[in-house]
Chain A
């Protein structure tokens, strides 16, 4: 089902209000129903698969046991022949033939079961594909519904603020102004930082006795006066 095509048709047709159906409600219901049906079918298939697989394993075990019986009787028949007891060998051979028949029947049954198990497995995979595909289709519908919801709340805002023309230009102007203010503040911040680090540098220089006026202060004045009076 080409949901996307339906969505496009509906949206272009003006189904843009919230609550208005994007696609035929029936289509959504059918998708949902198909998903649920596929899930149910998978559940049932998995249950019967468990039973079938158990029978298959049991049969395989029985066949193996019969084959080992055949091998054992074959070796016994050979021993009887070697001992010259032909009558016993014939009896063993008859038993081997019976077991081979039984093994043959069980093998046929086993093959049929294996085929059934494979068929159910591939059915489960197919149903899972349906679930995934329908899930993706539903996701598209939900996406457009959410988009409508998100856009319609803004459309209401447009209506409220759209009293004047050039709404976008004015808004852009305000954004640019704010950005310019922000840049100014950043510049001011950098300037302040520069000033602060400059002060710091002056203090460091003074501490190091570089560039500072070391002759200021009462002690240096007194020194100067003493020198004067000593003349």
Chain B
């Protein structure tokens, strides 16, 4: 399924938990998805030869209290294994929450992953909020 097709299907879908998606394929080739259960932190979907990567940018390192960066990193290492279906990482200066799926993942499973990722984002940020500016 191409990202364009995925966008089309997502926009027409309503989950069992009443989550809607607003998916737009940007010129850069990134599929930007806003889940109605967390509209503040969009999920960016990209594709490689073997995977579908769903990435939620969380914050930049300059948004972390300067003396709390190490504490934050350690906290995230502990949190990461506890989050279902998602992992936390850093890309350049940005902290990200991400999930990887095989290219032949069923649409229903992609939807589930996105819904959970949107929830995970809020959960993680609530935990580390005190360490942010």
A-side residues, CB < 8 A to B, are 11, 14, 16-18, 138-139, 142-143, 146-155, 157-158, 162, 165-169, 171-172, 174-175, 178-179
A16 surroundings in chain B (CB, below 8 A): 91-93
B7 to chain A, nearest CB (A): 15
Q: Given that A154-B42, A154-B44, A172-B122 are known contacts, is A11 also in contact with B92, CB under 8 Å in the complex?
A: yes
In this assembly, does B94 line the interface, its C-beta being within 8 Å of a C-beta of chain A?
yes
A114 to chain B, nearest CB (A): 38
Q: Is the CB of B91 within 8 A of A151?
A: yes
Q: Given that A143-B53, A172-B40 are known contacts, is A151 also in contact with B122, CB under 8 Å in the complex?
A: no
Q: Residues 5-46 of chain B: 1 if any A CB is under 8 Å from the residue's CB, otherwise 0? A: 000000000000000000000101110100001111110111
Give which listed residue, A146, A165, A174, contacts B40 with CB less than 8 A. A174
Closest chain A residue to B42 by CB distance? A154
Q: Is the CB of B41 within 8 A of A150?
A: no
Q: Is the CB of A175 within 8 A of B63?
A: no
Chain B's interface size range is: 35 or more
A150 to B29, CA, bound (A): 9
Q: Is the CB of A146 within 8 A of B53?
A: yes
B50 surroundings in chain A (CB, below 8 A): 139
What are 25 A-B contacts defined by CB distance under 8 Å?
A17-B92, A139-B50, A143-B48, A146-B46, A146-B47, A147-B46, A147-B55, A147-B91, A147-B96, A148-B92, A149-B28, A150-B44, A150-B57, A153-B44, A158-B59, A165-B133, A168-B125, A168-B129, A172-B40, A172-B125, A172-B126, A174-B39, A175-B38, A175-B39, A175-B40
Q: Is the CB of A151 within 8 A of B92?
A: yes
A175 to B50, CA, bound (A): 33
A179 surroundings in chain B (CB, below 8 A): 37
Prevailing SS type, chain A contact patch: helix
B34 to chain A, nearest CB (A): 12
In this assembly, does B67 line the interface, its C-beta being within 8 Å of a C-beta of chain A?
no
Q: Is the CB of B57 within 8 A of A158?
A: yes
A171 to chain B, nearest CB (A): 4
In this assembly, does B108 line the interface, its C-beta being within 8 Å of a C-beta of chain A?
no
Q: Given that A146-B53, A171-B41 are known contacts, is A153 also in contact with B132, CB under 8 Å in the complex?
A: no
Q: Is the CB of A153 within 8 A of B32?
A: yes
Q: Is the CB of A155 within 8 A of B57?
A: yes
Q: Given that A16-B91, A149-B28, A178-B39 are known contacts, is A168 also in contact with B63, CB under 8 Å in the complex?
A: yes
B48 surroundings in chain A (CB, below 8 A): 139, 142-143, 146
B42 surroundings in chain A (CB, below 8 A): 154
B49 surroundings in chain A (CB, below 8 A): 138-139, 142
